[in-house]
Amino acid sequence: MARPKKRAPRRSFGAIRKLPSGRYQARYPGTDGALRAAPDTYETKRDAEVFLAQIQADQTRGDWIDPTAGEVLFSEYATRWVDERGVAPTTGELYRRLLRLHLEPTFGSLYVNAISPSRVRTWRAERLQATGATTVAKSYRLLKAILETAVEDDMIRKNPCRIRGAGREDAGERPVASVAQVFALADVIGLRWRLMVLLGAFASMRPEELAELRRGDVDLDAGSVWVRRAAPELNTGRRVVGDPKSRAGKREIVLPAFIHVDVRRHLEWFAQPGPDGLVFVGEKGAALRGTTFGRKWRKAREKVGLPKHFRFYDLRHTGNTLAADTGAKLKDLMVRAGQSSEKAQLIYQHSTKEHQRKLAADIDADVRRQQAKAAENNGEGATVHPLLPRQRDAEGLVIREM
């Protein structure tokens, strides 16, 4: 008697069927119970079974991603991403400009889950041909941050932004004005704006902090100013009053004594009346506007001979470099400049040729002092290496050994 044929065991997960074309289609239930078809068909039944086994394993581990979850247009998702971040108005304006000009033309009409590493690489290469490397780095960082949130939202499995170093900005070192150039700027820009230049340099105040400085923030007896608010101006011309750039931005800045006279004179001549009056206002008494001051700044910069790319913000480099040269601790420098990270402060600690020569001279003096001290103790076994006589330049710095 012939044995009955054994029936294949019933499949415990998903289903496979043979299509009229001869290929195999796999279907499987998602974690929500809905039945989904595999994105591809398979040449053999075995290939379809492998696919189902992988899907089942992903669901068991909690790694399964609904393939339809990422079917959201990048433009919609990115806009919502910016709206939900709660960033400062100036940062939000920057994000939206980068999206509009550099990201949405390429990715805006694509689904989030359709953005691949190869598309990102091609986009970056094209952008580098069309605009500056700094702008491309900023755009890349924004794209990467948006898609990293998509990973967290279980819309995609991996972030397609995988280009090492693509978000790093290798901008050149900003120029530093000398003390003489700062005072020259203060002289030629006019009395109304003189104090603004001095505070920007020697108090390391940001332009948006100066724009919102009030009479009540100035302590003439203590010789200090308090930074409590900032008023950055957007590209639309809207003045946005709020907190400083970071939590560390709220601070008291003790002023060097040579500025005290300028502070008293400016409050007497130009500031709005009352404790809440603005310290810096236009010629008609209105709040400071970037367009008005910008014209004055450009003319003064040209008269002093500073380069066109020297910004008012770069005055902070002068003040922070001077402060660093005093030997102050990094924490004190960060507090004065209103910075919350060591990395931000280190940007301003420039090293000029003059600083390097002074450093070398200080090392030379210290080594000679220690050698002289060792010579005194030579009888106790100290080894002393002879040092050559020195030739000094006009400033008294060693330039070569004789």
Domain ranges of the chain: 15-61, 74-152, 179-346, 353-401
**Cβ-count burial 249-279 (b if 16+ within 10 Å, e if not):** bebebebeeebeebbeebbeebbbeeeeebb
Local structure of 114: helix, strand or coil: helix
What pLDDT score was predicted for residue 394? 45
Task: Tell me, yes or no, if the two domains 15-61 and 179-346 fold the same way.
Answer: no
Residue 286: what pLDDT? 82
pLDDT along the chain (402 residues), means of 10: 57 83 87 79 89 83 75 94 89 94 96 94 95 93 96 90 90 78 93 95 90 94 90 81 78 88 95 94 83 89 93 87 71 69 56 55 69 71 50 43 39
* Virtual torsion, Cα 381, 382, 383, 389, nearest 10 deg: -130
Q: Are 103 and 143 in contact (CB under 8 A)?
A: yes
Task: Give the integer Cα–Cα distance in Å for 315 and 318.
Answer: 5
In 37-132, which ranges are continuous DSSP H helix? Answer: 45-61, 74-85, 89-98, 104-107, 117-130
Structure tokens at 92: 């939000």
| Confidence at residue 306, expressed as pLDDT on a 0 to 100 scale | 93
CATH of 15-61, one of 2.60.120, 2.40.50, 3.30.160, 3.30.70: 3.30.160
Cite the beta strand spans of 136-274 per DSSP E: 218-219, 224-227, 251-254
Token code pair at residue 214: 């009030």
At CA 263, angle to CA 205 and CA 349, rounded to 5?
Answer: 30
Per-residue model confidence (pLDDT) at position 391: 47
Give dist(CA 298, CA 281) in Å, integer: 18
| Six token digits for residue 19 | 């299509």
- Residue 22 buriedness (CB in 10 A; 0-12 / 13-18 / 19+): exposed
> Is the dihedral angle over the CA atoms 375, 377, 378, 383 positive or is it negative?
negative
State the CB neighbour count (10 A cutoff) for residue 330.
13
pLDDT for the residue 401: 40
CATH code for the domain defined by 179-346: 1.10.443.10
Q: Where are the alpha helices (DSSP H) in 225-349?
A: 260-269, 290-304, 315-325, 330-337, 342-346
Q: How many Å separate Cα 241 from the centre of its chain?
A: 21
Query: What single-letter DSSP state applies at residue 103?
Result: I
Pairs from 113-116 (Cβ < 8 Å, separation ≥ 24): 113/67, 113/69, 113/70, 113/71, 113/155, 113/156, 114/70, 115/74, 115/147, 115/156, 115/160, 116/160
Q: Angle between the 191-202 and 179-188 helix axes, to the nearest 10 degrees?
A: 160
